[in-house]
A and B are shown apart, each in its own frame.
Chain A
Amino acid sequence: MATTQQGWLLTACGMCYIGCGVRVHVEDGVVTAIEGNPDNPQNRGRMCAKGKAGIMTHYNPHRVQHPLRRTNPKKGLDEDPRWQQISWREAIDTIIAELNRIREDPKKLLVQAWEAVGDNMFWLKAFGSAFGTPHIMNAASPTCGKVVHPVEFFSGGGFHQQPDLHYANYCILVGTQFAISARGSYNHIALDMAEARARGMKLVVIDPVGGYAASKAHEWIPIRPGTDSALALSMLHVLLNETGHYDEPFLKNKTNAPYLAGEDGRYLRDPESKQPLVFDAADGRIKTHDDSTLRDPALSGSFQVDGQNGRPTFELLREHVANYSPEKTEEITTIPAATVRRIAREFGEAASIGSTITIDGVELPYRPACVDWAKGTQGHKHGFHQCWPLKLLNMVVGAVNVPGGILSTAAIGKHPHQWRPEGGTDGMLEDGGHILPLPHPKAFPGRKPTTPIRMDLGELFPLASHFHTLLPITTADHRPYGLSYDLEMLLHTPTNSILGSFGDITMVEKFYQSLRFVAGFAIEINETTLFDDIVLPFPTYLERYDFNTGSAAHSIPPCGEEEFHWQVRQPVVDPPRDLIQPQDVIVEIADRVGVLGDLYRLLNHTYIIKEPYTLQPDRRYPASEIVERTAKSWFGEDHGLKWFREHGVVRLSRDVEESYFGPYLKARLPIYLEHLLQRGGELKTVLDQMGLNWDLSDYKPLSDWMPCPSYHAIRKGEFDLIAVHFKFPFVYGGYGNENPWIDELCENTEAYSVLMNESVAKAKGISNGDTVWLESPVRKVRARVKLTQCIHPEAVGVGGHFGHVSPGMPVARGKGISFNALLPTDLDHIDMISTALDHCVQVRITPTA
């Protein structure tokens, strides 16, 4: 047991989803200090402010330490649940009775599984699947990750993207504070970013908010919210039609740029093999893309194939982006045409197209320029198309998975087992690589739409990977979709989904009220817990066993020439007497509803647990033994918990192919999304059958800038500003400001204030520090204003994840505002490709009386 241990103990931080290696000092069973583990190649001994503050979360005096039952049947954000302490037996009995009630119709169960700190997410997902429900939420945010992962898996091959800070000389960040305020492997990439800047890499930040990233940049370019795609299309136009900066050999041989598209936009195909056709300029013949005689696939021209006219998709792209001259997009983005031209030219020149570099004796293409984007660009009504042309900027200069370019995280590995991206349909990259054999999110080739059974209408979003943003809409009225049942029960992790996973808080509150029974794990009584019927206490990360310690090991490790690493989490102190490891709770529940063998089978699969370590259906294993078995299965019999306690982390070197796999990939990457036409057509057929008239204009192979509702709203004059969200490094991705040290940071940096452009505020008679009314179409709140010149004049910046109201969070309660609560939630604000909820919302700000 942990209590017998003293001194410095090795484990993994769990204050956010990343999972840095730490050493924790324990005296007489009390944690006295937490430091970074210098042996861990990910964080290299460093920690962020959240991690350092972990001790305060661990010793939170308001922690939930016993199972609780609500005695007030009325639920609401301002209702006192009137908790009553109960035994574990009563808590589990109650949950089992409710599960048994819906056992014959398991789709009535909703599992909110996101808790990426440890194993809980994979365990609850496996339980949900074993129980038989399709309703498993495994993302926290209503926007973040909605586009980047589905795009990355078919256009790069990994989970996320990461600028190659080791070699890049020019890096553009659009709507992201990569390596400065946010992102996986934060403590690693933050140092890499500092070193890259010190060696002369130019950093350009394009964002409505001039925040932390802009403060480190050589240049901050303010952009009107929701116009990222117009900028990207304009830069593409400059590169392809003005300066001629594009990587022709790469486009010809590694993308679908030469595939011939007919008048209807669909590929011309070989009648027998059905493979897409190209024109080989070497011998003047039409061939399939995979013809072994293909030498010089054409990127321009017009070719007759069986009476049809076909043109290379690259030519269609060039013509298309010509509609976005910098002069035209200046009116949309407010970025001067000359600036767009300069940035595009600098980017194109920095890409050094045609150059190579030799690493460990292997000659590789060298493209030291890249564009990165993330949450900011995804959170729009047309989020998919706001992002895709940004990805294309990297693609056209060949800067994908080569030194200096944009890299795909965790895409390929050779140890402790093998995984890699693979080609498939039409010769295109189809299956991304991932260390865990879980179905990765990918927007290619997508699924055939069908009449929905799922309450979140997943069947009608054939390119999306998860769909929870639809739930508050469909549960309010599911008749238009032919659904004739209700979600009745929610099982959830400690993640505060009610504030963090949806928009319009009034709708979300109603959605949670509509659930007949809610049970969840909790460290503190947050807003989601307020709706619980049964609360199950959850250990802190210093008391837990986890084989998965966060995303830095399996999904977002440092890219490039970096080591593979794996660590496990084990308790450094004993949990309070009445606490049980969450895995043990799930095993108990699974056993009693008769799905323990199925749960184990799915866990054996998820964690690749091989003989002789596989979990057997007739046994019950404690969490510690399961982590031990998994570790031994991966790394050998000698690598049990004891080994990890002594050594902390497994480190394995990676070769050139694992570091820069672009040239090794045997598949083409897309510059033209032909399959969107097919899926859009199929979707229209299903929607017509259902009598639904959705706008499917997003289903197009080449992106356009399409405005968000807020763009029109402020032109109509009802509102005059657009609120956007941004991240702080000290609350990003983790347990928030109930921690008193984090709260102090927030207070001292004025993080609880909303940002407003100084001159705009002055014109409204608003001064720095004033309290104002901030009103969106769905919510009106009081906010304190911080005036700055570092924000676009049309934008209002709302940072962090605040606005807590739960009495169980007395430190955080009443501080700052919840950005998500301001967001209208209906189909007009949902991206029809990705299901991202629009995160730029029209607001008005008025002084309080």
Chain B
Amino acid sequence: MNTPALKDWPLWEVFVRSKQGLEHKHCGSLHAADAAQALHMARDVYTRRQEGVSIWVVPSVAITASNPDDKGELFDPAADKIYRHPTFYEIPEEVGHM
């Protein structure tokens, strides 16, 4: 008979720092009983070829995500603020790099 699989092992999101000095980057998720096991499994699943020097695991339920339906409301207001970019400003050539 089949036994239940992983019903009660929660999902974790895995973030890996590929190299000292760089940020941790989301690289995937996995099921584990607790944080220590999640770290252990993340090591085996996501860093078999020295892809990382540090791992974070976060319970997936702890992540609050923005709603895709709010995309316009959240991000569109930035679209017409071109003066936030350096290229908006004209500086005489003789000034050189600024």
Is this pair of chains taken from one and the same complex?
A: no
- Enumerate chain B interface residues (CB-CB to A < 8 A): none
- Enumerate chain A interface residues (CB-CB to B < 8 A): none
